[in-house]
Structure 1
Amino acid sequence: MAYLKVDDFYCGGFLVAPDWVMTAAHCMGNTTVILGAHNILEPETTQQVRGVLRYYPHPDYNPNTWSNDIMLLKLTAKATLNGYVKTIPLPKTSSDLCTGTKCSVAGWGRIDNDQATNKLFETKVSILSRRKCTYFYPRLNTGMICAGDFHELSDSSQGDSGGPLVCNNVAQGIVSFGYNHPPGVYARIANYLFWIRRTLRK
């Protein structure tokens, strides 16, 4: 899990290779990456700070529709992998996740009534069917996936943008957008495997 300090806001992100972080394209800005953090306001010994050498937002990212809300950051130096800083695997195939799949989402986003937090929080969500989700988000496309149940009231929140939706220890989504209630919409990583592989090879 990466904490991204961007200009005057912040986002989440996650390490997909020792020198690559994945996040949301709408988190674009002058970024400092902090890995291995729990409490972001304390100088924890587990933290590793890296700059960003190059930004690779998806070439078809559309800020009006949130389409293709995915970005790769090439770090100035490789992270040192250890018990606190690890890479997370990406999907192997582009197939859709089954409805009801249990996942977790984490970040430093706001909790309860917009209370800001400096500690990393994690919550459980489940994948919502595309059909049900288009009821909330008519512009849903194959590059998006929905998670969070209206009845469960657990969801990603403001400030979690760019963080990972993790299902069975694989990063399947990137926190993208939503209302003030579940479900939330995530960029569907499986849809972008070709672009990801090509960019990492660069």
Structure 2
Amino acid sequence: MTATANTNRQMAWYVVRTVPGGQKPRREFSVEQTALDKAGRPRGKGYRIVPNLNHNISAIERSLTENGFDCYMPSEKRLIRDRKHTDLWKVRRFALLVGYVFVRDPHDWRLLEATPGVAGVVKSTDGSPLPIDIMDILAVRAAEADAEVEFDRKSRLARQTLRKNAKTDPRLKMLLGKLDIAGLVSVPLDYQFIAA
């Protein structure tokens, strides 16, 4: 009987409220060396700090993982128009449940509430953390899978339109060729394009 109680306890999920902006990608900074001048000395300070965003993980997910918590943020992918090349689209990840993240069996409630990006834990009327039924988690995962199917459909349609437009626009054809060589865009030629 204690083995099943421990098994059920290990699958307990709780809901955490996030601060505004906590589900956006976390900005990271890297140091790059600057080019050398003609005399072989570094230009300026010799380095520069370059900000970049990792779009695959949010700030709250990174904070919770760094503190040792298992978390699940339901998300969906969307196609966002590129600012530099308006004919191209980028894939971005957005939270499916804005403002909430699921955490499995927190080992330290005080550390969880002190984690950067956590606004609080959803609690029941008696003040104890409210466990979420696993069937509710599975329903959210089903909604996430539906969003993934819709994204795949939109992505395929955007690739078809891009290939079709590239046939008549030499600038776009050259840009698409460069991205294909770099491995940034992989667009399979469907049977629909061969006929078009």
TM tier relative to shorter chain: under 0.3
What TM-score results when the alignment is normalised by the length of structure 2? 0.21
Larger Rg: 2
Question: Could you state the TM-score of these two structures normalised by the residue count of structure 1?
Answer: 0.21
Greater share of residues in strand: 1
